[in-house]
Structure 1
Amino acid sequence: ILSTRRFNTLFVNPLEPVWLFIEKIYTLNCSLNVHLFSYIELPGLYSKTMTPTYDAHDGSPLSPTSAWFGDSALSEGNPGILAVSQPITSPEILAKMFKPQALLDKAKINQGWLDSSRSLMEQDVKENEALLLRFKYYSFFDLNPKYDAIRINQLYEQAKWAILLEEIECTEEEMMMFAALQYHINKLSIMTSENHLNNSDKEVDEVDAALSDLEITLEGGKTSTILGDITSIPELADYIKVFKPKKLTLKGYKQYWCTFKDTSISCYKSKEESSGTPAHQMNLRGCEVTPDVNISGQKFNIKLLIPVAEGMNEIWLRCDNEKQYAHWMAACRLASKGKTMADSSYNLEVQNILSFLKMQHLNPDPQLIPEQITTDINPECLVSPRYLKKYKNKQITARILEAHQNVAQMSLIEAKMRFIQAWQSLPEFGITHFIARFQGGKKEELIGIAYNRLIRMDASTGDAIKTWRFSNMKQWNVNWEIKMVTVEFADEVRLSFICTEVDCKVVHEFIGGYIFLSTRAKDQNESLDEEMFYKLTSGWV
């Protein structure tokens, strides 16, 4: 690890470029950090090339992240073991872990990020001191199951612990789905402990892999997706129930004929009036999109926070079924990024949403669940404490086995990918919280930083007060003397705040890092511009 130029930065590859940073958690018991990410002690470094390597034992492709060892002492041993998940063997491990009880606790976790432009020694990291490795930026690039077994496993581990420690919220149905996937992954990991990749995966030569990468690039991320001949921007039109919770004149959901064109939704009182002036119209560019779904209750809601001059306008959309929800949710997510349904990722987004919902379905026929020895299932290692308090272990075990029927046929690498994708689908995914005091404000609030936006949030409820997109940002500055971050956006919008619990350098690194990642290209021959990264993140300290 210390062989890299910046001691506490690990480089992945020119295309990712996902940066794996070392986080020093001051509020946790250091002896527990090793348990949290025990695989970081195993040998393995990250490659600077996209060329896959093959295991000499069985010819199956390793992650390219295992290829670069050089003369490092880390080259000893089997790097493929980094692709193997380590099951949680004791509920006592979870019981002793720090679990955030409120949003402010989640923000305090981020106090421990180290400075990527300074060495470990400069930051008073002592010999034999335990550190926690995490992916700092939630912007993952080209996760290819054929190559990236190690990186996928590392992301799976981070997602697993975030859910078990309740660092990110999920519904009861989602928790059982995550538990079923985790149980399935644990079983397959034990079966393949001597062979780090799933035996069902076929051998892939480099030519096939290159062709596959080309297909992924052209088709928006999935080889099974076939692009149609789009000569016009697709549209949606259907009856949707609309609710404005902050508007007293509208006390409940009201059904409208809604049309979704480009990035806007128009609401009409009936289908027959759709050729006239809409009763309501909303542009979703830059909005916050949050799912509110309960499969068993047949609730398929989409919560929208649309930026307006005075703040955020809240709108809820209620769909009738999964299919309608998947199409409208996918369109809303793309529109929030300024994209239309003509984008190649739209169909993939729809399929991912449907797949996510399908995994949460309960098996209607208990007889289809095979007789199993339930002693190999320990719910206390698969489910977060909140749900352990709500149900007995026997009840949770039955629900995990029931949910397992939806994922039982998945390969190991597919199950991990589904776990990561489901994690990415959670409303709170990808938002890093910091406690801040905004200029002109008298109380502490939260600033949330995501890959494409800044969010001013209510510290008690987590509700978004205002959102600013990086695409509208002109520049940002840091006053190092008073520790104030100032961000200037288009239309003369200016945002200034002071982080009260963390050095402003940490926030500066998040903003600069995400700006850097937004400039990445899919050209596999492009070299990683390390100097640009440090220029955007180091500042003048």
Structure 2
Amino acid sequence: MDWSDHALWWPDKNSWLTRTRSTLDQYGVQADAFLHFTPMHKTLRVQLPDLRYLDCRVDFSMKTFNAVIQLCKELGIRHPEELSFCKPLEPAHLKHNYKDINNKKNKDSNGKIPADTNTFIHSQSPTGSNGSLDKTISSPLMCAPGVSKNPKSPISKPAITPESTWKKNQNNSNSSFSPNGNINSISFNDSTNLPLSVSPITPNSKARSNLLRPKSLLEKARMNVAWLDSSLSIMEQGVREFDTLRLRFKFFSFYDLNTKIDQVRINQIYEQAKWQLLNDELDCTEEEALMFAALQVQVSLQVNMPQPSEDNNSSTNAVDDDIDAALSELQVTLEGSHVNTSSNDITQVPELQDYLRFLKPKRFTLKANKRYWFTCRDLTLRLYKTRAECDSHASPVYTINLRGCEVTPDVCLTQQRYGIKLEVPTSDGMSDMYIRCNTEDQYAKWMAACRLASKGRSLADSSYDMEVSSITAFLQMQHPAPVPAINPQELDITPEDYMPPRFLKKLKGKLVHRILEAHANVKDLSSIEAKMNYIKAWQSLPDYGISLFIVKFSDQKKEELLGVSYNRLMKMDINSGDHLKTWRYSSMKWSRSQTKWCCFRFSPESRVFCQFPSRRLDTVHPGYVRTSDHNTILLRVRICGVTLVQKGVVYKVNCRDCSACYVGHTISYLKVRKARHKLDCRNEHEEGAMLSQHAIEMGHRLDFDNVSIEDREQKRGRREFKEKLHIMLNENCCNKKTDVNGISSVHAGILADIKNNPHLAYSR
């Protein structure tokens, strides 16, 4: 028997013993320790975004991030960093913050406190399981849906759902997945053998019934607790063999969607977007909902139709062999932008001018739009009473800097309303302003200008015309045709499968006819084109790509909402969702204090502290941010992690295998000191800091991925003094005793204040 896939699992420490060069003594394993000799690859049931289930073999010993990469490689999904695993949730999970559940304070029968379900990490248990996947009436609320224990059914047998589950052919371990959706060695349990690039029209009823419909912003924020920590293994987060996890796109910044090689990826993104809209996770207008339903109908009609990419391989290959086409495609891939062969020489700075209506809401005043002459040039919006004042170079009534502002569409085609909402950053927070356009063409031009200006791009940017065309096409798809292209009697359309619940009662019997009227605009699209239009329209929604978290700011006692997007953080109203303040990543540094407080620093004098009640700070997951100008650069940003490019800091490194920690200080970059510590830990002959001695002598692993900044100080004497304070503050420091020379008990009061109020460590 081949034992190469086996490894030792230590239930009490909830960790794998994967360092084969280390001895059991270096791991701290004693004679009475209980270890499991178990395979690292185990069967995991994975629910895809289209609600189908896949029984697959996953390495439970590697980090979740790497496990997702391996799975996506087999499924033929490119850019796996955009996806992650999450645990299934139940409606009851949306009602409370996990930290505040009363049952969690109760102790189990053995006297131990139940596991912190906030992070999916096991408590110490001799069996290696704390029941985090089991839900009973007496047990505390867990992060995963309950699976009732049945003594007649052994845990080694997975539940079978014949109508939706498919798995690999176990007879062929070398099964492969084609990126074009042609899956080899896959046996479906149902009658329809569909590739991953095509999803069933009607999903499994049981899987759909388990989908959550958040009714408030609070419930939307609590849904983010389900994500697994990417830096821990699946096994370390309470997942066992034959358990169920959901594979979802977590970071809404999709890179290089190619219709030729990303058919599986595009289909799964489309399915996740569809269920987000149908479950009211994203708000949209009635016209937008009908447009989404029409595109969904077109995708359903194209399922059994031959697609150009599948039937015309010879002609496609002939085009691909053309040198000019290949060079153009290569340039698009490398630059991440549209290749415009026409050369338009700009001899003057472009400027947009027109009469529009403007409103700046004020308290205790009537809301009325006033007509102004607008000019947009060099990221600045200027408003004049008349065009003559502009021509005479008079002072404008309003001058608005669009750089860094938030742009939200306010459009209703049935009411002929074409509005633009601007949230402009000011010293007092965000200031709301409204612009009202008269026609669609006017709206498309000014909306495109505002969007580009908010990103720091002027009208001279080459993407302006593309943005205008995209907005115009998006509006055209929302216009219903006078006569449906298909007779409503010929199609069996269930409105619940195509429209969000809030529109079902409003439209009632007219719903099918309205959907088919909207379908007339997209009836000529192929399946992949309809999905791409659906994704682009989804990305145009105001709330797209914003992940919500419940936080408590240091100067507030009540809970507030923090929105995390690909380029900014937003303090939001917890009831209405209005943006109260916006912080751009480009002007922000962040760090964490111990395990509860997060510090966002915008300048030496401006700092914001917040706390995450619904999650441990360590498990607010890393995000992936792609810069708008260089789409090929992928920046990994830990939302509440440490910025390693800071100087003059007091830092702390924790041990993963015990409660020890090390406190040090450095005047150089923290990443340089971190690299030096890593080198010392690998070299057993050179005498390094106590940190490396602890790692070498005990054989323990140090958590260099989560180095925390305890304090900042540029002057050496003060920095050394603060280092000594933090050594005394941490009881399990492995520093030398001589490191605290000069510190006496008179500082006990200072240390007590720091323990009670972590954010005081940053105040001066």
Normalised to the residue count of structure 1, the TM-score between the two structures is 0.83
Structure 2 contact 381–400 (Cα < 8 Å) conserved: yes
Among candidates 394, 406, 411, match of residue 288 of structure 1: 406
Cα gap change, 1:449/1:491 in structure 2, threshold over 3 Å: closer, same or farther?
A: same
Among candidates 103, 115, 119, match of residue 229 of structure 2: 115
Distance in 2 separating the partners of 1:230 and 1:424: 31
Structure 1 contact 302–317 (Cα < 8 Å) conserved: yes
Distance in 1 separating the partners of 2:247 and 2:363: 45
Among candidates 96, 119, 139, match of residue 253 of structure 2: 139
Structure 1 contact 219–344 (Cα < 8 Å) conserved: no
Deviation (angstroms), 1:506:
3.6
Deviation (angstroms), 1:204:
3.8
Cα gap change, 1:247/1:379 in structure 2, threshold over 3 Å: closer, same or farther?
A: same
Deviation (angstroms), 1:160:
0.5
Cα gap change, 1:282/1:530 in structure 2, threshold over 3 Å: closer, same or farther?
A: closer
Structure 1 contact 286–307 (Cα < 8 Å) conserved: yes
Deviations 1:8-55 (A, max 9, x none): 4433799957421001133358599x99xx9996669xxxxxxxx997
Normalised to the residue count of structure 2, the TM-score between the two structures is 0.60
SS class of match (2:418): strand
Aligned AA (2:472)? L
| Structure-1 residue corresponding to 2:446 | 328
Cα gap change, 1:300/1:532 in structure 2, threshold over 3 Å: closer, same or farther?
A: closer
Structure 1 contact 266–282 (Cα < 8 Å) conserved: yes
Matches within 5 A, 1:206-285: 207=321, 210-216=326-332, 221-222=337-338, 226=342, 228-246=344-362, 248=364, 251-274=367-390, 275-285=393-403
Distance in 1 separating the partners of 2:336 and 2:705: 33
Cα gap change, 1:535/1:464 in structure 2, threshold over 3 Å: closer, same or farther?
A: closer
Gaps of 5+ in 1: 45-52, 56-61, 68-73
SS class of match (2:433): strand
Deviation (angstroms), 1:379:
1.1
Among candidates 481, 490, 494, match of residue 378 of structure 1: 494
Distance in 2 separating the partners of 1:529 and 1:267: 38
Which structure has more relative contact order (CA 8 Å, sep 6+)? It is 1
| Structure-1 residue corresponding to 2:82 | 19
Cα gap change, 1:466/1:137 in structure 2, threshold over 3 Å: closer, same or farther?
A: same
Matches within 5 A, 1:62-461: 62-63=179-180, 76-77=185-186, 81-89=195-203, 94=208, 96-191=210-305, 199=311, 203-204=316-317, 207=321, 210-216=326-332, 221-222=337-338, 226=342, 228-246=344-362, 248=364, 251-274=367-390, 275-363=393-481, 365-366=482-483, 369-392=485-508, 394-461=509-576
Aligned AA (2:369)? Y
Distance in 2 separating the partners of 1:496 and 1:197: 52
Q: If you compute each CA radius of gyration, which structure gives the higher value, 1 or 2?
A: 2
Deviations 1:345-371 (A, max 9, x none): 2211111111110000011x32x5343
| Structure-1 residue corresponding to 2:39 | none
Deviation (angstroms), 1:498:
0.6
Cα gap change, 1:341/1:531 in structure 2, threshold over 3 Å: closer, same or farther?
A: closer
Distance in 1 separating the partners of 2:418 and 2:386: 22
Structure 2 contact 591–600 (Cα < 8 Å) conserved: yes
Distance in 1 separating the partners of 2:81 and 2:207: 29
Aligned AA (2:518)? A
Structure 2 contact 194–200 (Cα < 8 Å) conserved: no
Distance in 2 separating the partners of 1:145 and 1:228: 29
Gaps of 5+ in 2: 1-56, 92-143, 148-158, 170-175, 188-192, 644-703, 709-764
Distance in 2 separating the partners of 1:531 and 1:398: 47
Aligned AA (2:287)? E
Structure 1 contact 18–141 (Cα < 8 Å) conserved: no
Matches within 5 A, 1:443-522: 443-473=558-588, 475-481=589-595, 483-490=596-603, 492-510=605-623, 513-514=624-625, 517-518=626-627
| Structure-2 residue corresponding to 1:539 | 706
Deviations 1:286-315 (A, max 9, x none): 111110101121100000111101111100
Deviations 1:44-88 (A, max 9, x none): 9xxxxxxxx997xxxxxx45xx79xxxxxx963499911113323
Task: Supply the RMSD in Å over aligned alpha carbons.
Answer: 3.6
State which drifts further: 178-187 or 14-23.
14-23
Deviation (angstroms), 1:476:
1.3
